[in-house]
Amino acid sequence: MVYDVIVIGGGTSGLMAAISAAEFGARTLLLEKGNKLGSKLMISGGGRCNVTNRLPQDEIIKNIPGNGKFLYSPFSVFNNEDIIDYFENMGISLKEEDHGRMFPTSNSAKSVVDTLVHNLEQNGVDIKLGSSVKAIDYGSDQHTLYTENGHTFISKAVVVAVGGKSVPHTGSTGDGYPWAKKAGHEITDLYPTEVALTSSEPFIKQKALQGLSLRNVALSVLNKRNKKVVTHQMDMIFTHFGISGPAVLRCSQFVVKELKKGANKVTMELDTLPHEEWHKLEQRLFSYMDTNPRKSLKNMFRDIVDVPERFLTFLLQESELDEQAKVSTISKESIHKLVRQFKQFTFDVDGSLSIEKAFVTGGGVHTKEIVPNTMESKKMERLFFCGEILDVHGYTGGYNITAALVTGRLAGMNAAFYQ
């Protein structure tokens, strides 16, 4: 059977691409190797589906550190505000939460996926589940697709929307890279982003802080010259293998990139009290010591410093200070060193969890080989790419889904041009 557009991949960008192609009049087929559509969308935002972000466009680009500037041109055609209008016109009411994150008022990812699938059906898109593409033969005026289950499909245009290599249980297993290479594309180095980090520090190995969450801390990545590469102020958690949580995920790609340069380990700096000025905190502590000489060291810090008691105990032990000692017996130099631990606690990380355990894949089809306002390949006519297979990646918070929906929209509508 001959189609105008075949979309490979039923994830976020693939669903948008297929709907868009059909809306623009193309006879469209959506091929998905799994047995359901929108698997990654279903688990996004903790199952609530963070569909986009309402921050200003420049801020969104800043939150897509992996080639976000590539999206300036696509955003001139279809942007985050258009995504919001698009979903609300489909009957999905949205609400704005912290940091501009947009969620369905239903708090249900399933309602979003169900609406998108209904839209596919309304627009007459043929959907074939359990259809894994084995190979693509490229032609001058049409492309031929062969599936693992023995079917052959011909299409005037093909949209590759198969994702990267992260979260493989949703179907993203890197299938599209060989097809891109066959068309002449360069695949930039693949690496995990938005991923938990590993550490061999003794306190990690000994599980001294395992399970401890720290709220609203400033976590920095230091380069080999001890200069800060990036800082993120969010929550984090210590784990049995290292560190995780929002601040860690955002720092992770910068750690991975430092390790890729040949470093064996990367130093991270943790400010547990980012809203406290160092000298003012010391002054408050010294004043407290003068007026409460008989208080124990631990009680003084409990009264003055807002950190979990477990972390306080850990730092006192690391500093070889007796938590029950009277503050009158503690030197100001010891207090200075302790405050330094609260403000500049450093430790080394030496790796990350695998790309399969990352939320997002870094690297992919090189953006210089894609026409930015159409998503068409510069190497092969009638071939389009969208979503995570592209070398575009952002932080969590609706930024990757925004990139997927925007690139999917452009790929589908421009692929329909060849009908």
> In order of start, what are the domains of the chain with their CATH numbers?
2-191+361-418 (3.50.50.60), 196-352 (1.10.8.260)
What average pLDDT does this structure show over 142-161?
97
Question: For the chain, how big is the Rg over CA atoms in Å?
Answer: 25
CB hemisphere CA count around 107 (13 angstroms):
2
Query: What tens digit of pLDDT does each residue of 267-277 get?
Result: 999 999 999 99
Query: What tens digit of pLDDT does each residue of 100-128 get?
Result: 999 999 999 999 999 999 999 999 999 99
| Beta carbons of 325 and 297 less than 8 angstroms apart | yes
Closest CA to 405 of 155, 189, 190, 112: 112
Dihedral of alpha carbons 270, 273, 277, 282, sign: negative
What average pLDDT does this structure show over 399-412?
97
| Beta carbons of 397 and 102 less than 8 angstroms apart | no
pLDDT at residue 1 greater than cutoff 90? no
What average pLDDT does this structure show over 58-62?
96
pLDDT at residue 56 greater than cutoff 90? yes
pLDDT band at 289; cut points 50, 70, 90: confident
Lookup result for tokens 């992919």: 364
Lookup result for tokens 């609530």: 48
| Beta carbons of 380 and 138 less than 8 angstroms apart | yes
pLDDT at residue 37 greater than cutoff 90? yes
pLDDT band at 167; cut points 50, 70, 90: confident
179, amino acid identity = W
pLDDT of the residue at 181:
97
Query: What tens digit of pLDDT does each residue of 338-376 get?
Result: 999 999 999 999 999 999 999 999 999 999 999 999 999
Average pLDDT over the chain reads 95
Reported in sequence order, the residue ranges of 245-334 that DSSP labels E, i.e. its strands, are: 266-271
Lookup result for tokens 């999206």: 71
pLDDT of the residue at 323:
84
Cα 69 versus chain centre, distance:
16
Closest CA to 250 of 101, 97, 362, 162: 362
CB hemisphere CA count around 200 (13 angstroms):
5
Paired tokens of 31: 């091929």
pLDDT of the residue at 172:
85
pLDDT band at 200; cut points 50, 70, 90: very high
Least confident window among 19-23, 153-157, 321-325: 321-325
Q: Residue 187: what are its φ and ψ, rounded to 5°?
A: -105, 115
| Beta carbons of 246 and 208 less than 8 angstroms apart | no
What average pLDDT does this structure show over 269-295?
92
Query: What tens digit of pLDDT does each residue of 203-247 get?
Result: 999 999 999 999 999 999 999 999 999 999 999 999 999 999 999
pLDDT of the residue at 320:
87
What percentage of the chain reaches a pLDDT higher than 90? 85
Closest CA to 219 of 178, 273, 295: 273
pLDDT of the residue at 45:
85
DSSP state of 188: P
Query: What tens digit of pLDDT does each residue of 168-194 get?
Result: 888 888 999 999 999 999 999 999 999
pLDDT of the residue at 42:
92
Q: What separation in angstroms does the CA of 187 have from each of 158, 379, 404, 415?
A: 18, 13, 18, 22
Closest CA to 311 of 265, 275, 271: 271
pLDDT of the residue at 413:
98
What average pLDDT does this structure show over 255-263?
93
